[in-house]
Amino acid sequence: MTSYDGQKITYDSSGNPLQYRAGWNFKWQNDRALSEMSNLKRNINAKFKYNEYGIRISKIVSTSENGQITTKTTDFCLNDMQILSKKISTVVTDSKGKTVSSTTDTITWTFGYFEANLGFTYKDETYYYVKNAQGDVVGILDKCYQPLANYIYNSWGKLVSITDQNNNDVTQDLTHIGNINPLRYRGYYYDNETQLYYLNTRYYDPNTCRFLNADENPESGDNLFAYCLNNPVNYSDYDGREPVSAATVVLVVGATIGVLGGSVVGNAIAKHLKLSGRHYWLCVSGSATLLGVVGYFAAPAVFAAIKPLVIQAIATCTVIFNVTHAWALKILDVSQVYVNQALRLIDIKSVKFSQTALNHLNNDRVIPVSTLIDCIKTGKAVPDPQGVVNRVMYYTTMWKNGKIYNIEVLVNWSSKTVEHYLYKAGK
């Protein structure tokens, strides 16, 4: 594509756009990583940083308006390619560089079965996602499950509108929780400033219905810029590398269940008719084949019918469990903090990090979050050396690049926050 809506698009030798639609200009690093976007018409500049695996760890967006410059820095805490939390620091300066205002906010995500995003916490308030069968975030609920925002997209993921609980359009209200939440279509991360989706290895533009740059696998045989094989209704692409058909998974599962069920039914019929030898196996295989075919074709309809019921059942059971759990602790006069600390109830999905720990994770002390969790789970526990209540230090060893290291992790159990960690070569 060399132009869009009458606007010229140019590329470098690797297929990365340099001059793009709507006045955007791009810079790239390491051949494929988008490092900077700028738009003189909108007075906006965005810079991105990535870790050693090429996954984005921060973005810095600067805008200029009415003689003031607003710089918003977002730092991401990751587990592999999954965002656990993000910290947003916003600084407004005047024309002389003097700070007018400064704020800091954090969003921490909550995860459930199969690492699915259930919702998030922002400014001490809990919010839950409403998703459709394709994984699109179509709504946000408050902690009492009352609707706060609704999203409408076209079939390619372009945002059509965001409305509040009274059906008022809040698409342009950047302070509304519907705009503050970045997970949108297919659960992708949406950058409000650039109107692009970040899919870990590439950026997707729902306006052009294409990825910004070419597929890293030129031998795939497909259009290297195409999103989901130009079939977004039936496919999703969660890392920018390969589209996945949800329908295929459902069909395979349906056929498998049909074959297994058919085998059981065929066996029962054969025994009832007292068949043996070749006739027995013909009955079993015939029944398995027949029900396998039925399962293959019936699976999509069955899946669509029962999915809302399953989701509702899980949500109901979760609410009942939480209420029962809270009452049990109250009756036993036991603190949840004590239970967490005693049983070391912490995992990748629930752990939080202090700003100091986040800086280490993304810069000078890069280490898998799972390694820190393992240290907390299995390491030697001692009271906080500084004597702070509810803080515990954990010590253990780990291997890295063929060397053994001593590692220490300090946890504040009142908030499940890793406040400090350190590792150094052992003797």
pLDDT, tens digit (0-9, with 9 covering 90-100), for 325-368? 667 767 766 676 777 777 788 877 678 888 888 888 877 788 88
Name the DSSP letter for residue 174: T
Classify residue 321: in a domain, yes or no: yes
Q: Stretch 7-16: mean pLDDT, rounded?
A: 89
Q: Is residue 288 part of a domain?
A: yes
Residue 415 and residue 346 share a domain: yes
Q: What is the pLDDT of residue 81?
A: 80
User: Is 405 part of a structural domain of the chain?
Assistant: yes
Query: Residue 394's beta-bridge partner residues?
Result: 381, 409
Domain match, 364 and 317 both: no
Residue 398: DSSP 8-state: E
Same domain, 388 and 420: yes
**Contact indicator for 70, 62 with CB cutoff of 8 Å:** yes
**Is residue 31 assigned to a domain?**
no
In this structure, are 353 and 401 located in the same domain? Answer: yes
78 occurs within a structural domain: no
Which CATH number fits the domain that encloses residue 372? 3.10.450
Domain termination residue (choose one: 287, 309, 330): 330
Mean pLDDT, all residues of the chain:
84
What is the per-residue burial (b if ≥16 Cβ within 10 Å, else e) of 17-56? beebbeebebebeeeebbeebbbeeeebbbbbbeeeeebb
Asked whether residue 282 falls in the same domain as residue 302, the answer is yes
Q: Is the domain of 325 the same as that of 352?
A: no
Looking at the fold, whether 250 and 322 belong to one and the same domain comes out as yes
Long-range Cβ contact pairs of 78-81 (< 8 A, separation 24 or more)? 78/51, 78/361, 78/369, 79/348, 79/368, 79/369, 79/370, 80/55, 80/368, 81/55, 81/200, 81/239
64 in Cβ contact with 43 (< 8 Å): yes
Domain boundary among 305, 330, 355: 330
- Show which of 330, 363, 388 is a domain's final residue: 330
Query: What CA–CA distances, in Å, run from 211 to 53, 57, 239, 320, 347?
Result: 20, 20, 12, 43, 34
pLDDT in tens, 51-94: 888 889 999 999 998 889 999 999 998 877 888 889 999 999 99
Please report which confidence band the pLDDT of residue 6 belongs to, taking 50, 70 and 90 as the band edges. confident
Q: Quick one: 285 and 317 in the same domain?
A: yes
- In a domain, residue 349? The reply is yes
Is the per-residue pLDDT at 207 higher than 80?
A: yes
The token pair that represents 397 in the structure block: 């060893």
Continuous H helices in 105-201: 177-180
Looking at residue 62, its pLDDT comes to: 95
What is the domain count for the chain?
2
Do residues 347 and 376 both lie within one domain? yes
Range of the domain at 252: 246-330
Beta bridge partners of 161: 152
Buried/exposed 221-249: b ≥16 CB within 10 Å, e otherwise: eeeebbbbeeebeebbbeebeebeeeeee
Question: Quick check: 217 pLDDT over 80?
Answer: no
Q: What per-residue string of b and e applies to 73-89 under the rule 16 or more CB within 10 Å gives b?
A: bbbbbbbeebbbbbbbb
Is the domain of 313 the same as that of 250? yes
Residue 299 lies in a domain: yes
